[in-house]
Amino acid sequence: MQEYPEIVLFDGVCNFCDASVQFVIAHEREPLLKFASLQSETGKSLLKKYGLDKQNIDSVVLITGGKAYTKSAAVLRLTKRMKGLYPLFFGFIIVPPFIRNAVYEWIARNRYKWYGKKESCMIPDPELRARFVDL
Range of the domain at 42: 6-123
Beta bridge partners, 64, equal 6, 67
Domain-located, residue 103: yes
pTM of the model: 0.86
* Structural domains counted in the chain: 1
The string of DSSP letters for 17-47 reads: HHHHHHHHHHHBSSS--EEEETTSHHHHHHH
Bridge-based pairing of strands 34-37 and 60-64 is unpaired
- Whether residue 1 lies inside any domain: the answer is no
pLDDT tens, position by position, 74-128:
999 999 999 999 999 999 999 999 999 999 889 888 887 887 766 655 566 777 7
- Is 132 among the domain residues? no
Q: At a CB cut-off of 8 Å and minimum separation 6, what does 32 contact?
A: 5, 6, 81
Residues contacting 25, CB < 8 A, separation 6+? 31, 33, 35, 128, 131
Q: What is the pLDDT of residues 74-83, one digit of tens each?
A: 999 999 999 9
